[in-house]
Structure 1
Amino acid sequence: MKVEKMENVTILLVIFMVQFMVQPGKAIINCGEVEHALAPCISYLTQDVQPYPACCNGVRKLKGMALTATDQRSLCICLRNAAKRYSNIKEDAIQTLPYKCGIKLDFPISSTFNCQW
């Protein structure tokens, strides 16, 4: 019985420590997640079509990831680098994507934008 109580106390202590180690509101932008979120947008970015709902959901997800100025810069860099890798992406489509989805980002999406504002 005492061993069981000691295990419970240990588990609670670990949970307590983890909660203090995590900093709320501090997101970590992963460029792989950014590209995955925008994968449904490829047809819009390369052809003359409207963005699909899955594409706009991806843009909405990205907006939710960028909670701080640091997050926004990181997201901007991921987006800029992803845009540079695809030669057939239309620059005007990149820039109008948030607008077409009815989502306001705090920075433009572009393959040439300086994300170090």
Structure 2
Amino acid sequence: MASLKVVCGLFMCMMVAAPLITEAALTCPQIQAGLAPCLGYLQRGGVPAGGCCPGIKRLVGSATTTADRQNACKCLKTVAGAVKGINPGYAAALPSMCGVKIPYKISASTNCNSVK
């Protein structure tokens, strides 16, 4: 009888903890801070500032799960639509300018739920 209570207790703990395991590790403020050096490029073009590409590369390296990639996509999409003066073409070209590939286009129209 005691072992049944232990098993039930463990099962309940697993059920409570399961949603926590699937949450994204990357937060939008972290993403925004890492990409802040890219703002000049996103608005005026040219060459990305010194800290921009390392920030993009860290973001890509940190987004290891589907939840991380979808969270990053949603954050980038929000920023692309909210910050005045961002050129959509520069935003879409940023990953290739920095020599990285991401599985979505940085755009206010990207469907982040389809990112895997």
Name the TM-score class by shorter chain: 0.7 to 0.9
- Larger deviation: 101-110 or 54-63? 101-110
Distance in 2 between residues matched to 1:60 and 1:115, nearest whole Å? 19
Q: How well do the aligned residues superpose, as a CA RMSD in angstroms? A: 2.0
> 1:73: Cα distance to partner?
0.6
The equivalent residue for 2:94 is: 97
Distance in 1 between residues matched to 2:108 and 2:89, nearest whole Å? 10
Distance in 2 between residues matched to 1:27 and 1:113, nearest whole Å? 19
Establish whether residue 41 from structure 1 lines up as the match of residue 34 from structure 2: no
Matches within 5 A, 1:1-117: 27-117=24-114
**What is the identity percentage for the equivalent residue pairs of Structure 1 and Structure 2?**
33
Task: Return 5+ residue gaps in structure 1 as ranges.
Answer: 1-20
Q: Which runs of 4+ in 1 moved over 6 A?
A: none
Relative to the length of structure 2, the TM-score reads: 0.75
Contact 2:43 2:85 in 1 (8 A): yes
Contact 1:41 1:51 in 2 (8 A): yes
Which residue identity is paired with 1:35?
Answer: Q
Distance in 1 between residues matched to 2:83 and 2:24, nearest whole Å? 27
> 1:59: Cα distance to partner?
0.4
Structure possessing the higher radius of gyration over alpha carbons: 1
Relative to the length of structure 1, the TM-score reads: 0.74
Contact 2:63 2:72 in 1 (8 A): yes
Contact 1:40 1:52 in 2 (8 A): yes
**Number of matched pairs:** 96
